Amino acid sequence: MLKAIWSWLRKDQVSRDILKTSLALLYNAAYALFNLILAWNYQSEWYLMMAMFLFPLCIMRFLLLMEWKKHGENGCRPDILHVSGFIMLFLVLAMASIVYVTSIRQVTEGYGEIVMITIAAYTFTKLGFAIARTLKDKKNSRLLSRFIRDISYAELAASMLNLQRTMIISFGNENHEWAHMMNIISGSAACLFIAAIGISMIAYRNKDGT
């Protein structure tokens, strides 16, 4: 049975793409839930806001899958990018809140090796996937491929920021001036990057669909 399923997936590119997107949704949702658990366990506003940032990305992926199954790859409405662009801009506010918390909250204790390893594993996995997808889809202008890449880039920006702060807390001292400045600079860069993604989505919709 598994052999038959594998043979079918090899022949059907759309089915493979839908499967990969579904797995990415589960992976992203699990990490968002992990951050929510950390927020509860450590009473941390930081991890709470990280979860609040990641859960909307789960919703975006889910809507993409529903749109994909309903209309097919070529029938995906450009409006979905329009709405997603505004969601991205809303998420910039969440990211800005994370940066603000970083700048005013000083944490004296690390979160433990398991937390550190989990966040690092997630971040580097997302980085690898993002690089692989960018290289694979370099000449691919499909609407759905761009949508998926933009979500992946936003996830990566957030997870890189999360990893940096966790490493500083676990291995350094967040009270140091250099650590404070590093959090502000990297957080601001992440906000600008995600805002650029949102604006590009909206601009693409306005150019292509109005």
- pLDDT attached to residue 208: 45
What residue segments make up the domains of the chain, in order of their start?
Answer: 18-209
Report pLDDT digits (tens) over 99-136. Answer: 777 666 655 455 667 888 888 888 998 888 888 877 77
pLDDT at 75 over 60: no
Q: How far is Cα 169 from Cα 186, in angstroms, rounded to an integer?
A: 15
- pLDDT attached to residue 60: 83
Cα–Cα nearest to 20, from 28, 155, 103: 28
- pLDDT attached to residue 128: 87
* Residue labelled with tokens 């650590």: 179
pLDDT at 52 over 80: yes
Q: Tell which wins on pLDDT, 161 or 14.
A: 161
Report pLDDT digits (tens) over 132-153. Answer: 877 776 665 566 777 777 888 8
- pLDDT attached to residue 33: 93
Question: Residues 160-163: contacts with CB within 8 Å, 24+ apart?
Answer: 160/123, 160/127, 160/186, 160/190, 161/95, 161/98, 161/186, 161/187, 161/190, 162/35, 162/50, 162/119, 162/123, 163/119, 163/120, 163/123
pTM comes to 0.78
| Structure token digits, residue 16 | 């493979």
Cα–Cα nearest to 147, from 83, 191, 91, 90: 83
Which DSSP category does 174 fall into?
T
pLDDT at 11 over 70: no
Give the alpha-carbon dihedral of 179, 182, 186, 188, to 10 degrees. 100
